[in-house]
Structure 1
Amino acid sequence: MNPVYSIAPHAKFLTTLADRVIDGTLLGGWDNSGPFGLSDVTIVLPTRRARLTLAEIFAERGVGLLPDIRTFGGEDKEEEPFLPPIDVSILPAPVSLVERRLVLSRLVSLWAVSDDGRQALASPPNAAEVLKLAESLGGLIDDLAAEGCTPQQLDAIVPADLATNWQQTLKFLQIVFRAWPEILGERQKADKSVLRNERLLRQAMAAPLVYGDKPVIAAGSTGSIPATAALLKAIAALPHGAVVLPGVDTTLSAAAHETLLDPISNSHGHPQYGLAKLLRTLGQTMGNVIELADADHARTVLVRHALALSPDTAYWAQNRLAPNQLTAAGKGLTLLSARTEDEEARAIALAARDGLVRGKSVGIVTPDQNLARRIAAELGRFDIRVDDAAGAPLFHAPAGRLLRQILALATRNFAPVDLMAILRNRACVLGTSRAEISPVADLVEMGVLRGQRPNPGVTGLRALLTANVDETTKYPVRRLTSADAAAIEILLTRLEQAMAPLMTALSQAHLTAGGFVDALLAANERIANADIGGAAELALWGREVRAQGAEGITFEPVGLDGVLQALMQGFEVRNVMARRDDIAIWGQLEARLQNPDLLIIAALNEDIWPEAADPGPWLSRQMRLAAGLEPPERKAGLAAHDFAMALGNGEIIVAFSERLGTSPAIASRLVQRLEAFAGEATGTLWRQRGEKWLAEARALDATAAPRAASMPVPNPPPSIRPRRLSITEIETLFRSPYDLYAKHVLNLKPMDPLGEEAGGRERGSIIHDIFGRFVEEGNDVMAANALATLNELAQDGFSGLDAIGERRDIWMRRFTTAAQLFLDFERGRNHLVCQRHAERSGKWDLQLSQPFTLSGRADRIDEMLDGTLEIIDFKTGTPPGPGEMKRFEAPQLLLEAAMAHVGAFADIAAADTSNLSYIKIGLGPDAFIEKPFALDDGFDLMGAADEAAIRMQRHVAEFLFNQRPMIPRLFPLSNQRYAGAYDHLARTAEWSLTAGEDSA
């Protein structure tokens, strides 16, 4: 057996490998003189990127004819060794991820509804959850294949030792793992993991025949897959074979080696565990490993002590490095502790840009794809286009996002937000162009949707379109011309036709994955621009799903966004744009092989690097061990090894964030160990180096110290101030004249949020209208069918309120109760009422120093038998308090009484008002209990009405006829818990005394 070699972390792995090949160290005496001396040498590496980098290194060193550089388990046609003429069976075709997911989902769904499945699962899984369970089940199949385990090894798990749910799960797994090979055999296919193992084992078997006594070097692998370990063992046994491992700790004693492999010690998370296991497979020990790098470096010593076995941490104090060693170890090492992921990405981008400016190559390693995309976006600010090796999930790529918007539009039946989202998507062309779509989209938003709530579907949109064009209807935002309407109609027709296949599919009781995706892609093909990013990958995914036909589960058309995400899992969109070759973003594996001038390792947060030790939903940790599988913390050992190798780089930045999303986060245990061993002073020094980039990141988008806005004091000429106000605006004049300035002088009207859900205010308005219609249509409150009549009016009133029938039903049930209370109230006073008037509008022309008109609309004005009037205000909210009424801070009812006194309301003769009252509409104990208007001492009702009119006229003269500033919040409500319509315009929160108060 040939010796096993290692390259320590502080040495550049591929560079050292090339140098040791060139100088003959790894060739075992093979003659490599002359320009073609290396042409017979074969080198096997873990990744294609490493293969290309090694080729460049050989070329830089003037090697004439390069060695044959391959990757482990390479594709048949490109990299698999040419086998000698022996009988070898043809490998079956690989089963696709989609096909396996769908086939397994059918098995999972059948089990989930069985008695065993009900005992194992907390609740019945929906379609998306079934697909995710199927995906994780496929991952478990791959784990078994990778570890060389057979389904029969599950029999080693003792059911009696398990909880009931695990017992049922184990029974299912035993069935699946025995049936799955038969299913694949019928389809003449095999799992990719099995095929990879088979290729590796064939390479191992054929190695002596293919290579003979020619040099073969396997480098960079840790042999975590048993089939790879078998190939390494076969190469090591060749006459001129050599195995070069990354970062073997040759200083470990034989006892430490045994401790690593002792299952009781649970050392799976140690960076040397995998290498120790591989060495045992190769029949070697730590002491037999030959180090190819120079003498131990202080950085390597530091990292090895910091990541020592748990028992060895007791000796940290006596093993701590001397100050000069710590200085040498920390040279070029920076810790970057960012507050947020956004800040982390920006600081990394700035550090990377600085490295490029200094003429250095830069590598960024992170397992977090979201952070990788953030970093790439931040680098784009400096026009640096970086190669992100991982790409982006198809589900989040432009093509995937548009597909999700199409699905949302269909499932929510053309809801306003979803409609505008798709019309604003630059990839939405509907067979035309964005130049045609964009202006019509503006018309749809402002002329059809804003301030309105359409009924479901295109029919509801067309109804609003017709209502807008009809000039007899009131429209709140923008009146459309006939040409506008024609353009919108064409757009709606195109969209309706494009969505027709999907809408038809969603109308079915059940869907299959193939049928669902076929309908979704049919809509996408009619809507999307063919050049959208990820279109090719989307087409490939679509072909794979469509090829399965009716395979997989059937599901109801609900929760389809989760179904789509589950079906797209595993499909990535790779970068196709030209990228720089001096900077790249890599995955963790490259951390052990690549050595740029500046290496940045990012997302060093716990549960990211290393990832959480999750055994998955199918086997617990103990069940995995009993079945011969590695425990989940084995991935932590691989992550720790990659971290240790990366730390050997000369100039390195270790970055992590103190918050992930909205949650606090902690640095990875690897970083914590490193700082703990180095000591607080040294760790602080490393962090101080990172502060430079954090400060620049914070300053990049920072502005000067913010200065709070002062209260606005607009003072427009009296000639342009309003000469007509409604009764409700009089209270606004009292409290915040600025709001009237914004509304009537600047002509700014609040715009309702697009697709705003109906709330209490709108529901209250509808109830007002229902009670008003009941009265105005002359219905008798004493009639036996009065309640039925109110319910009929409510059915019509609530019909367009919400597309969700269940919510309408709830509101209707509540309304029925309120309607009965309304009738009880009216019947109780019926003997006093001569005639009722509802929602009656009025206008009072006043001749002050200048003409002024007061308008209003009263909820109810009842003519009483005694010749007086009674004015009632129906409230769905809270009525004013007695103090506000007495202080004339709630002038609405008093002004209505003053208007009624002069006959300002149509068809109601001038008369005094004998009663003002509030009635609360609701279901509580205070519902439909009359609350009389509270009068201050010394005032009767009409006297108070006259006083309110006088005060109103003073304010009108002062603020509308004179040059007086129209300031905001002149007299604000003390208990107001909502923002005013123009508070944002006045920047009230910046100068108001109540800014920052807790309104809860």
Structure 2
Amino acid sequence: MPRRLGKNPELYTIPARLSFAETLARGILDRYGSDPLTLSDVMVLLPNRRAVRSLREAFLRLTGDKALLLPRMQPIGDVDEDELLMASGALPVGLDDVDLPPAISGYQRQLILMKIIHSWYKERGEEENAPEVAQCAILAGALGQFLDQVQTERLSFDALKELVPEDYAVHWQKTLDFLQILTPLWPTVLEATGYMDAAERRNRLLTGLRDQWLNTPPSYPIIAAGSTGSIPATADLLELIARLPQGCVVLPGVHLDMDGDSWEVLGPTHSQYSMKMLLNKIGVDRAEITLWRGAPAADPGLARERLLGEVMRPAETTDRWRDLEIDIDEAMAGLTRLDLPGSREEAGVIALILREVLETPERTAALVTPDRQLARRVANEMQRWGILIDDSAGTPLFNTAPGLYLRLVAWMVAEEFAPVPLLAALKHPLMSGGMDRGQFRRMVRRLEKEIFRGPRPVGGLDGIDRAIGQRLTEGASAKLQELRDWWRGMATLIQPFADLFAQKSVTFDEILVAHIACAERLAADESRSGAENLWKGEAGEAAAQLMEDLQLAAQQMEDLSPEQYPALFEVFLGDVTVRPKYGQHPRLNIWGPLEARLQHADVMILAGLNEGSWPPEAAVDPWMSRPMRKDFGLPSLEQKIGLSAHDFVQACAAPRVILTRAEKVDGTPTVKSRWLARLDAIVPNEVFRSGDADKWLSWFYELDRPAETIEIDPPRPVPPLEVRPRKLSVTAIQTWMRDPYSLYAQRILGLEPLDELDADPNAIDKGVVIHQALEDFMKEYPGRLPADPLAELEELGRRAFGPILDRPIVYAFWWPRFLQVARWFVDQERERRTGGYRTVLTEKKGEMTFSLPGGDFTLRAKADRIDARPDGSLSIIDYKTGQAASARQLHAGYAPQLPLEGLMVQNGAFEGLSGTVTDLSYWQLKGGEDEPAKVTSFNEQGSRNSKQDVGELIEKSRDGLLKLVSYFDLEDSAYLSNPNPAQLGYGEYDHLARTKEWQGRVKDDNGEDAP
């Protein structure tokens, strides 16, 4: 350090209990404010632009918003310097004339590094092991951060040669091999671009500034404030400023009262570690630091500050907790802790506290948390009162309307217009297709209902057009023709972008430009162009800037496979944040921990105090293990925990602080922050704990509790007699008995459940194809079996399954089960035909009409199979691929299908067939290896579960049917929803009946809720 400056270092600190920006501004005014011209000559160097804004606002508050020539306030870092990952350096004003190449853009460097990573795999003959483009982009981003970190620490890549690969695990040896190839190559590649790394450029500029001030000390005052000096180049500059004739350094929250033993053993995870390293760098003792002007030596907050010092005490000296000389009551005054059940409750209670602050005029509050998800939840909760809160971290472009729209457009084309991604894109608010938005939405809904409900159509734009054309051949309609014309217009807008995905490879610039053009065409409406709609607002401007930056950097990237483009685009999109400029609340804020280091609000809410969140987990370096980092000279990964601890102390020392945490996050128990655990060890429970959590929780729950409870009674629809069904199938009779409301919704209201989007074949489809295969076999071979009946049945099965056999779930699960069923079925047929059984009909339809007082009623059925038994009587067989009815259900009348079919057979309802039915059988075709099928038979001999013979069962089903029809022929008979819940689970129409709202309530004789 130059001695010719002739001055001992001038260092100050502002205690954590005081607002740093406010106290700094007050001291500057006290020191230089008597002369406005002198004040304007002062230069204040701050960590970042957000600190500059905070100090400027502090000056305005202290001067009552009066006109004032403020000091020159300049940031010495564009991003949080303590992250040690300077992706782009913000340069001190006045240094841009240095003869240095400009800093390379982040995207340009990332694309170059992607190319180097891919080339490395290619040169080693491991191209097949190379990561996909999106993963390569993530690796390139991490590699760029590693380069920045090495340059920030001013290390030489030559030191990599001194690392012995054999000392590390195999995969780290491979990484080291890659780095030793990259590092000599990178300077040459970078020089060819005409740029330099931002971190290196920042280092040179700060070093140049330091040398300039060293040789020619400024004639004006310079104050470096708020920095911890964790970047070596910044620490060198602070070292100089502290010794300049008119220079001084103001440090945030140096713990002057810490005992010497604790100071000596500080580790990277301690809140004062970075301060200790800076003081060692400057070469001063902690005792030489004095309080900044305007900072009182003692005040009510001193006890809290000392308590927090004890909380952060190194483990080696925690035995001194036994002799604490702190007034706990005074230290805990104004400090509240809330342990809440979950993330939802934590966000809701925080929002309530923020809202309560606004009841006091001019009072301010800030939520401080590193948990971005929690911050977004709180911001959303605040909107219930119409309050927009300023979140300094902003919103990821990834989650904004333009960002989501651009993602969906890319995935829609990449997935060949599969139903889900296509409809997700078409339903986005920015999508209009050049037409009126209302009409566009109607066409999208029509496309969904007519084409996409059910199995997926053939992929591609033409595949959807053919699917619409198929519907037109089934029954032409004006609406379908309109849909086809609209879709062809949409295909014209999308086709240029889709054509690129048919190519083997494209340039990044080419597909990016096509993506932008397609997105703009689809975002146009009847009155405005797509560009006007898409790129408007803060999020739109950020998206437009991203696209421009990517286009400028695109030439650095090799060709890529088009299907990899959407994932790559999402990687780039995830790096952009949108920060609102206007419309936020002036008295409420959401701050990150670094911002809270430099300012206080009247109420500080420190939230998300769980391990892994605050403090964060030590980041994993994908390029070097901890031993490698240590040997190379990089700082410990745990240093971030120490910086986080410093931020916690700075915020927690404020006069009014509320600490919150969630005991569970997404249903998983959490571990409270180590700082809360230490507070628990120091502070007695009766002091720390309060009933505030219960109070705030009850208020939060009360917000969503209705003023009065409206109980929903079961529906009792009583439709007019003329609309009630007079023709039903035997399966519908079962529904009519079990759940009349479902029959009402389907047959009277005409409501049919929609198929799933992009649906895989379901159990009904499975039953249909197996029925079809067995029907075809029985029709093909009604008498003698073929030579190889199993092969014939398998071939008929393949025809029945048709194209759905290509679906993975069908081929993997259904087809093997069908083969098991086929083997069992062939064995069964051999046995039955040998035993004198003869099939007389399969899949035969029949009808039977009953003359009743309410009018004729027609019963319909389609019999799966009817066999003649050896004695000439008939056996009715029903194939079941699902669950068959039990004997108890059959005899209780809850499964009337087979008995009613027997009634129809005995009354000649099936043309060309008559006789006595003596057997009712369910063939449950499960397809399992142990039991491919199961036969449940009810016949005239009875079975062990049988209580009646078949004749009595058929007669009983006839009586039951007539009673059922006659009951619903009464004008006041209601179609109740699932009147016997024990017999049926939730059905397809139970949500319409709001079953979950009333089922389980018991009524007494007066219609009141029974206890």
Superposition TM-score, scaled by structure 1 size: 0.87
- What's the counterpart of residue 54 of structure 1? 55
The letter for the 2-side match of 1:330 is M
> Aligned partners of 1:817 and 1:92: how far apart in 2?
74
Q: How does 1:28-67 map to 2 (within 5 A)?
A: 33-59=34-60, 60-61=62-63, 64-67=68-71
Match of 1:378 in 2: 381
SS at match of 2:265: helix
1:945 deviates by 2.4
How far apart are residue 270 of structure 1 and its match?
Answer: 0.6
- The structure-2 alpha-carbon separation of the partners of 1:36 and 1:93, relative to structure 1 and needing over 3 Å to count, comes to closer
Write out per-residue CA displacement over residues 24-49 of structure 1, whole angstroms, 9 at most, x where no aligned residue: 2xx7xxxx643312122111111223
Question: Are 1:945 and 2:954 counterparts?
Answer: yes
Q: CA–CA distance in 2 between the matches of 1:81 and 1:909?
A: 100
Sort the Cα spacing of 1:827 and 1:303 in 2 relative to 1 into closer, same or farther, 3 A: same
Identify if the C-alpha distance between structure 1 residues 74 and 870 changes in structure 2 by more than 3 Å, giving closer, same or farther: closer
Instruction: State how far apart, in whole Å, the 2-side matches of 1:457 and 1:679 are.
Output: 68
Aligned partners of 2:813 and 2:133: how far apart in 1?
28
1:955 is the counterpart of 2:964:
yes
Q: What residue number does 1:475 align with?
A: none
Q: Cα 1:440–1:873, aligned 2, differ >3 Å: closer, same or farther?
A: same
Matched residue SS, 1:933: strand
Q: How does 1:757-836 map to 2 (within 5 A)?
A: 757-773=760-776, 782-783=785-786, 797-798=800-801, 801=804, 804=807, 808=811, 811-812=814-815, 815=818, 818-819=821-822, 821-823=824-826, 825-826=828-829, 829=832
Aligned to 1:12: 19
Relative distance call for 1:971 and 1:332 in structure 2 (3 A) is closer
Q: Could you say if the C-alpha distance between residues 928 and 826 of structure 1 is closer, same or farther in structure 2, counting changes exceeding 3 Å?
A: farther
C-alpha distance in structure 2 between counterparts of 1:896 and 1:458, whole Å: 48
Q: CA deviation at 1:698?
A: 2.2
Task: Confirm or deny that 1:896 pairs with 2:905.
Answer: no
User: Is 1:301 equivalent to 2:306 in the alignment?
Assistant: yes
Shift of 1:280: 0.6
User: Amino acid of the residue matched to residue 15 of structure 2?
Assistant: A
Stretch moving more, 34-43 or 795-804 = 795-804
**Alpha-carbon deviation of 1:352?**
1.8
Q: Tell me if structure 1 keeps the 8 A contact 2:805–2:815.
A: no
Q: CA deviation at 1:828?
A: 5.2
Mark the runs of 5 or more structure 1 residues left unpaired by the alignment.
Answer: 261-266, 473-480, 996-1000
- Pair 1:405 & 2:427 matched: no
Q: Does the C-alpha gap of structure 1 residues 81 and 48 become closer, same or farther in structure 2, counting only changes over 3 Å?
A: closer
CA contact (8 A) 2:262 2:317 kept: no
Mapped contact 2:336–2:688 kept (Cα < 8 A): no
SS at match of 1:38: helix
- Once the two structures are superposed, residues 705-755 of structure 1 have per-residue CA deviations (whole angstroms, 9 ceiling, x without a partner) of 867655545555655533222101222233233333343444443333433
Correspondence for 1:82: 94
- 1:45 maps to a residue whose letter is L
1:845 is displaced (CA, Å) by: 1.0
Q: 1:340 aligns with which of 332, 338, 342?
A: 342
Q: Secondary structure at 2:660's aligned position in 1?
A: strand
In structure 1, the partner of 2:396 is 393
Q: Distance in 1 between the 2:133 and 2:831 partners?
A: 56
Q: Is the 8 A contact 2:103 2:196 kept in 1?
A: yes
> Given the alignment, which residue of 851, 855, 866 partners 1:847?
851
- Structure 2 distance, partners of 1:241, 1:731, is 92
Measure the CA separation in 2 of the matches of 1:437 and 1:805. Answer: 35
Query: 1:110-131 deviations in whole A, cap 9, x for unaligned?
Result: 556888989xx9x975443333
Partner of 2:144 in structure 1?
138
Residue matched to 1:643: 648
Q: Which amino acid aligns with 2:958?
A: A
Instruction: Please state whether the residue corresponding to 1:852 is helix, strand or coil.
Output: strand
Residue 644 of structure 1: CA displacement? 0.7
Shift of 1:921: 3.1
CA–CA distance in 1 between the matches of 2:217 and 2:998? 82
Cα distance change on mapping 1:41 and 1:928 into 2, 3 Å: closer
- 1:969-988 equivalences in 2 (<5 Å): 969-971=978-980, 978-988=985-995
For residue 93 of structure 1, give the secondary structure of its aligned residue in structure 2.
coil
**1:104 equivalent in structure 2:** 113
Q: Per the alignment, in what secondary structure is the counterpart of residue 194 of structure 1?
A: helix
Structure 1 159/940 Cα, relative in aligned 2: closer, same or farther at 3 Å? same
Aligned with residue 495 of structure 1, among 490, 494, 517: 490
Work out the CA distance in 2 between the residues paired with 1:496 and 1:979: 42
Q: Judging changes above 3 Å, is the alpha-carbon distance between structure 1 residues 577 and 33 closer, same or farther for their aligned structure 2 residues?
A: closer
TM-aligned CA deviation for residue 382 of structure 1:
1.9
1:881 aligns with 2:886: yes
Give the aligned partner of residue 76 of structure 2: 72
Q: Summarize the alignment of residues 256-655 of structure 1 with structure 2, pairs less than 5 Å apart.
A: 256-260=262-266, 267-292=267-292, 293-296=295-298, 297-319=302-324, 321-322=326-327, 326-358=328-360, 359-450=362-453, 453-466=456-469, 468-469=471-472, 482-509=477-504, 514=509, 517-528=512-523, 529-530=530-531, 531-532=533-534, 534-549=539-554, 551-552=556-557, 562-655=567-660
Q: Does 1:911 align with 2:915?
A: yes
Distance in 2 (alpha carbons) for counterparts of 1:601 and 1:356 = 18
Q: Name the CA shift for 1:791/1:500 in 2 (closer, same or farther; >3 Å).
A: farther
Q: Distance in 1 between matches of 2:678 and 2:67?
A: 43
> Pick from 913, 924, 927: which aligns with 1:923?
927
SS of aligned partner of 2:417:
coil
Deviations along 1:971-997, whole A, 9 cap, x unmatched?
A: 4565x6x522233344444555699xx
Out of 102, 109, 118, which is 1:93 matched to? 102
User: For 1:381, what is the secondary structure of its paired residue?
Assistant: helix
Contact 1:218 1:242 in 2 (8 A): yes
Specify the alignment match of 1:229 in structure 2: 235
Contact 1:254 1:285 in 2 (8 A): no
Aligned-residue identity in percent = 33
- Equivalent position of 1:2 in the other structure: 9
CA distance in 2, matches of 1:625, 1:966: 77
Give, in angstroms, the shift of residue 872 of structure 1.
Answer: 2.4
The farther-off stretch of 491-500 and 306-315 is 491-500
**Which residue of structure 2 lines up, in the alignment, with residue 998 of structure 1?**
none
CA distance in 2, matches of 1:218, 1:401: 42
Comparing 596-605 and 859-868, the one that deviates more: 859-868
User: Counterpart of 1:23 in 2: which secondary structure?
Assistant: helix
Contact 1:921 1:927 in 2 (8 A): yes
Alignment-mate amino acid for residue 72 of structure 2: D
SS of the aligned residue for 1:222 comes to: coil
- For 1:508-555, what per-residue CA distance to the aligned partner results, in whole angstroms no more than 9, with x for missing partners? 455665555445434323223543463332233233334444755776
Unpaired segments ≥5 residues, structure 2: 1-7, 80-87, 524-529, 1003-1011
Secondary structure in 1 aligned to 2:39?
coil
Letter in structure 1 aligned against 2:28: V
Contact 1:74–1:80 at 8 Å: present in 2 too? no
Q: Secondary structure at the match of 1:39?
A: helix
Q: Tell me how large the CA RMSD over aligned residues is.
A: 3.6
| Counterpart contact for 2:226–2:251, Cα < 8 Å | yes
Where do residues 861-880 of structure 1 align in structure 2 (5 Å cutoff)? 861-862=866-867, 869-880=874-885
Give SS of 1:605's match.
coil
- Alpha carbons of 1:564 and 1:817: their partners in 2 closer, same or farther (altered >3 Å)? farther
User: How has the CA–CA distance of structure 1 residues 953 and 63 changed in structure 2, closer, same or farther, with 3 Å as cutoff?
Assistant: closer
Q: Which moved more, 1:907-916 or 1:643-652?
A: 907-916
Q: Contact (CA 8 Å) 2:228, 2:274: kept in 1 or not?
A: yes
Does structure 2 retain, via aligned residues, the 8 Å contact 1:70–1:79? Answer: no
Alignment-mate amino acid for residue 403 of structure 2:
G
Of the structure 1 ranges 10-19 and 525-534, higher mean CA displacement relative to structure 2 is found in 525-534
Match of 1:43, SS state, is strand
CA distance in 2, matches of 1:210, 1:582: 44
SS of equivalent residue, structure 2 residue 358? helix
Is 2:682 aligned against 1:677? Answer: yes
- Aligned counterpart, 1:193: 199
Is contact 2:48–2:77 with CA below 8 Å preserved after alignment?
no
**Aligned mate of 1:729, from 729, 732, 742:** 732
Shift, 1:13, TM fit: 1.3
Q: Deviations over 1:218-264 (max 9, x none)?
A: 0000011111111111211211110000000111244433322xxxx
